[in-house]
Amino acid sequence: MCMPQVLCLLLLPLSEQPPEFKLIRYEEDWSNQRSNSLKNIPMGSRGMYLTIGGETRQRYEYFRNPVWGLDPDDGNGYLLQRYMLHADLHLGSRLRVFSQMKSGIESGRIGGPRPPDRDELDVHQAFVEVKSPGSAIQLRAGRQEISLGSSRLVGIREGPNVRQSFDGGRLSGESTHWRVDLLAIRPAETNPGKFDDSIGHRQSFWGAYATAKRRRWGSADLYYLGLDRKNHEFDQGAAREQRHSAGVRWYDKVRAWDFDYEGLWQFGTFGSSQIRAWTVASNSGYTLESLALRPRIGLKADIASGDRNPLDRRLGTFNALFPKGAYFSEADLLGPYNIMDLHPSVTVPIGRGVTVSADADYFWRQSTRDGIYDMPGNLIVSGREARSRYIGAHANVMLEWEATRHLSFTANYLHFFPGPFLREVGLGHAVDFVGLWATFKF
C-alpha cells in the first residue's frame, strides 16, 4: 500500500496520456481525462466539472558579494518557499471560473525579503472566462497571469519567489491563421502580508498582440503595447512615463535549426522629455542530431538602447515593461536596459530526464552616459561619470532533473567576473550565486 494515501491520489495517473502540467496552470485541459478525487470532478449537470491542482517550490539561494558588493553577504544563504493552490470550475463549454491562492515565504536573508520574495497569503488569480459558440472569441476578466510571445516584455516572473499577475480584461479572438489578444490591465502590487495585495493604480497597461500561426516561412508576432506610470526613475531623473512600444517577432524550428528574432521601437513622453528607445533580441540554436545525446548549441545576442545624454530632453533608455524573471540567468543580476550582451550556450540531455547546460554571457553598456539597471528596471548605479563600456561576464552551469511528471530538481552555479565599468563605479567584487530548488506539481 502506498503511504500516505493522499500522495497516492496525487500520483495516480488519470489516463494513458494525462496532460502535461503547464507553467501557467489555467492553460491545462483535463476535460478528456478520467475523473478522480482531484481532476475533472463532475458537478452534476453535463459539461460542468471542477479540477483542483497546485504546486510547491522550495528554493535555496546563496550570494557572495550580492550586487557586486553593494549589498551585504548572505551568510549561509536563505530559503524561499512558494505554495500555490488552484480550482478550475467549468460551468459548461462557455463559462469558466478560475481561482488560485499563493503564499511566498522568505527565511534567513540578510537585509530581509526583496519585494518579490514574500507574500504570506493572497489571491494570485481570480477571473471569469466567457467563450463564444465554437470558442473563437473569449473574454477573461479579473486577476490573471499573462505571458505574451517570448515573455521578453510581458511574463509571469517565474524565477523570483512570487509571480506576477494583472488585474483587468483580456479579449482573445482566434481563426485558422491568426490569434489576436486585446489587453486593458494593471499589474497587481505584491505586498508582504495576508490578503493585502492591491490593484496597481500607479501603472496602466494596454495593447494588442497578434500572432500569425505557423506558415512555410515560420510564425510571426505583431504587437503594440502602451504603458502609463505615474513616476519612475532612470539615470536621467524621475518623472511620469507614458511609453508606447511597437514590435515584431519572427520564430521557427526548421530541422536542426531553431531561431527567435525580435525588434521593437518605443516612443512617448517622460515628463517634459521625448522617449526614443529600441531593442533587438535574437536566440539561435542548432541541435546536433547525429550525436547520441543530441546537444543543442545556442547563441543569444541582445541590444537594448540607453540614454545618450542625461541633460537633454530626450530619454533613450529602453524599458522592458514586465519581463520574465531569470532573463539572463537565475541570479538576475542585470536587467535588459542600456545593455548589449553576447550569450553562447550548450545544452545536453544526458538521459532519464536529466539535462546539463553551460553558458557564458558578456555584457556591455549600450550608452556610456547611462547606468545599469536590475530586472524590474530600478537604477543600480549611475553611469554619468564612468566612461568604460564593458560591464563584465558570467559563467554559469545548471543541472535539471525531471524525476517524475510531478517532481523536478534543479541545481545552478554562477560566477560573475566584474569588468572595468563596475570597478570604475566602485562595484568591483566578483559575485558567486548558488541556487538549489525542488518543485512538486499536482
Q: Say if strands 339-351 and 354-364 run parallel, antiparallel, or are unpaired.
A: antiparallel
Other Cβ atoms less than 10 A from the Cβ of 154: the count is 25
Query: Is residue 116 within 8 Å of residue 161, measured between CB atoms?
Result: yes
- Please tell me the predicted confidence (pLDDT) of residue 15: 43
Other Cβ atoms less than 10 A from the Cβ of 145: the count is 22
Does residue 74 sit in helix, strand or coil? coil
What span, in angstroms and rounded, lies between the C-alpha atoms of 124 and 150? 22
Query: Is residue 73 within 8 Å of residue 62, measured between CB atoms?
Result: no
Question: Which of 338, 364, 366, 341 minimizes the C-alpha distance to 234?
Answer: 338
* Contacting residues for 254 by C-beta, under 8 A, at least 6 apart: 218
Query: Is residue 276 within 8 Å of residue 261, measured between CB atoms?
Result: no
- Please tell me the predicted confidence (pLDDT) of residue 217: 85
Residue 120 half-sphere exposure toward CB, CA atoms < 13 A: 5
- Please tell me the predicted confidence (pLDDT) of residue 214: 79
Q: What are the sequence ranges of the domains in the chain?
A: 5-441
What span, in angstroms and rounded, lies between the C-alpha atoms of 185 and 169? 6
pLDDT tens across the length of the chain (442 residues): 444 444 444 444 434 578 899 999 999 999 888 878 899 999 888 889 999 999 999 999 999 999 999 998 888 999 999 999 999 999 999 999 999 999 999 999 998 999 999 999 999 999 999 999 988 999 999 999 999 999 999 999 999 999 999 999 999 999 999 999 999 999 999 999 999 999 989 999 999 999 998 778 899 999 999 999 999 999 999 999 999 999 999 999 999 999 999 999 999 999 999 999 999 999 999 999 999 999 999 999 999 999 999 999 999 999 999 999 899 999 999 999 999 999 999 999 998 999 999 999 999 999 999 999 999 999 999 999 999 999 999 999 999 999 999 999 999 999 999 999 999 999 999 999 999 999 999 9
Counting every residue written for the chain, the total comes to 442
Question: Which of 249, 341, 251 minimizes the C-alpha distance to 300?
Answer: 341
What span, in angstroms and rounded, lies between the C-alpha atoms of 122 and 193? 8
For residue 391, give the C-alpha cell: 560591464
DSSP code for 194? B
Does residue 212 sit in helix, strand or coil? strand
What CATH class is the domain 5-441? mainly beta
- Please tell me the predicted confidence (pLDDT) of residue 134: 85
Whose grid coordinates read 544526458? 350
What span, in angstroms and rounded, lies between the C-alpha atoms of 370 and 381? 9
For residue 158, give the C-alpha cell: 517565474
Helix, strand, coil shares of the chain as percentages rounded to 5? Answer: 5, 55, 40
What span, in angstroms and rounded, lies between the C-alpha atoms of 251 and 236? 35
- Please tell me the predicted confidence (pLDDT) of residue 14: 38
Task: Collect contacts of 346-353 with beta carbons under 8 A, ≥24 apart.
Answer: 346/295, 346/296, 346/297, 346/298, 347/295, 347/296, 347/298, 348/293, 348/295, 348/296, 349/293, 349/294, 349/295, 350/293, 351/293, 353/401, 353/402, 353/403
